[in-house]
Amino acid sequence: MKTILFLTGLTTFITLTSCTPTRKHMREADAQLLQSEQKMLAGEWTGAITLAEQAGEAVKLGIEARPVRKGADGKELDMSPLFEAWAKGPHLELLTALRDSQAERAAAAFVATRHQCTSCHIAAGRNDIPLSTL
Ligand code: HEC
């Protein structure tokens, strides 16, 4: 009995600690993206760009911490192509709009970027992750 309890505890511990780095980086990305949007609305373009770049870096670190995990279908899923599609798609569009100080274009890009954050979560079987929005 004690052995079983110990093993259950150990498995839980390993599961929790192996998840933590991704989650920490992802939460950072979520907060940075929101702050970036707030800066943009305040007309602080430089700050908005920096925060959007940091959000991209945080997502990257989150994926690198555990690039392969179980997908929605229960099979192993390589997250790297999904990350690349996100980084080179809506997130790059967001950075470009911010660098060009185009508010309307950036506003649309914030929506599209978060949309693709969520697409990746769904691909990973996590339909339940709420993202911060204004
Ligand atoms: C390429 C895939 C991918 C992209 C892109 C992605 N995420 Fe994630 N995210 C994940 C995975 C996988 C998890 C689940 C981590 C876990 O449960 O261990 C996750 C978890 C999260 C969580 C939950 C953290 C927690 O405490 O459980 C948040 C919040 C989050 N992501 C925010 C974002 C935001 C914001 C973006 C876009 C700016 C983003 N993610 C883009 C794969 C991605």
pLDDT > 70 fraction of the chain, expressed in percent and rounded: 92
Question: Is the CB of residue 110 below 6 angstroms from any atom belonging to ligand 1?
Answer: no
Q: Is 68 helix (H, G, I), strand (E, B) or coil?
A: strand
Specify the pTM.
0.89
Q: Tell how far the Cα of 39 is from the centroid of ligand 1, in angstroms.
A: 22
Question: Is the CB of residue 121 below 6 angstroms from any atom belonging to ligand 1?
Answer: yes
Domain count, the chain: 1
Q: What is the CATH number of the domain that holds 52?
A: 1.20.120
List phi, psi (to 5°) of 55: -60, -40
pLDDT in tens, 10-57: 766 655 555 579 999 999 999 999 999 999 999 999 999 999 999 999
What is the reported pLDDT for 4?
Answer: 79
Mean pLDDT, the chain, rounded, equals 93
Residues 6+ apart with CB under 8 A from 111: none
Beta strands in the chain (DSSP E): 68-70, 76-78
Q: Are 48 and 40 in contact (CB under 8 A)?
A: yes
Evaluate whether residue 89 is within a structural domain: yes
What is the reported pLDDT for 63?
Answer: 98
